Amino acid sequence: MFTRLIPLIGNDNLEKIKNTKILLVGVGGVGGFTLEALVRSGFNNITIVDGDTIEESNLNRQIIATKSNINKRKIEEALNRCLSINSNINIKTIDKMLTKDNFSKYINEDYDYIIDACDDLNIKVTLIKYAKTNNIKIISALGTGKKLNPKYLEITSLTKTANDPLARKLRSMIRKENLDLDIPVIFSKETSIDTKNIIGSCIFVPAVAGIYLANYVFLDIIKPQDNS
């Protein structure tokens, strides 16, 4: 299935990708597209974590959500979608909402990369601590709600973010843990739209953010030369 990919990256790089162990936390608006991109790009060893169910409100932006699977477990539907693309893929599923108390029970492997696509700030910090302690590369997604235009997305250090309340809170929490703030993140510079008490969302920003996350890991593995 990778006959169109191999001419771009070569068989050696494809083997590297297949052997890379990924932990993806969250398979919703952002993480669902990350997972899609990983599977279609040759990643073969992926652990996915999500303890939520699919709701009707997910239909406008989450790639695994359809009318036929409302109220079903996200993790099961994500697994089924992955296997429908590549039946040989090695997907490990954790159908749990991670907490500080159960984190070490479920997250205890030596991954090569952690992709944080969850909404829980405490778990974001815990994932960062785990990555730093175990010398695992990590990238985190920041806020994509209340925004419309994916052109404002960029990958940078957490220290260089702007117009993102989630980033401000995350920086504060990381400082309290005495952790390095130089963490790669995907964030949007777009000014948030005031949607009152509802976190308005559409497909464009989370979808592109999710693909950027997968692409970040992909490019880091193959390390192409900069032809710009």
- Identify the CATH number of the domain in which residue 29 sits: 3.40.50.720
Q: Which two tokens stand for residue 68?
A: 């036929």
pLDDT at 225: 52
Q: How many structural domains does the chain have?
A: 1
pLDDT at 182: 94
Instruction: Kindly state whether residue 180 falls inside one of the protein's structural domains.
Output: no
pLDDT at 224: 60
Instruction: Kindly state whether residue 216 falls inside one of the protein's structural domains.
Output: yes
What residues make up the domain containing 137? 6-141+199-221
Low-confidence ranges of the chain (pLDDT < 50): 227-228
Mind listing the pLDDT tens digit for each residue in 87-111? 999 999 999 999 999 999 999 999 9
Q: How far is it, in rounded angstroms, from Cα 219 to Cα 197?
A: 38
Instruction: Kindly state whether residue 100 falls inside one of the protein's structural domains.
Output: yes
Instruction: Kindly state whether residue 151 falls inside one of the protein's structural domains.
Output: no
Instruction: Kindly state whether residue 51 falls inside one of the protein's structural domains.
Output: yes
Mind listing the pLDDT tens digit for each residue in 155-192? 999 999 988 889 999 999 999 999 999 999 999 999 99
Contact of 139 with 185, CB cutoff 8 Å: yes
Instruction: Kindly state whether residue 174 falls inside one of the protein's structural domains.
Output: no
pLDDT at 141: 98
Instruction: Kindly state whether residue 25 falls inside one of the protein's structural domains.
Output: yes
pLDDT at 223: 86
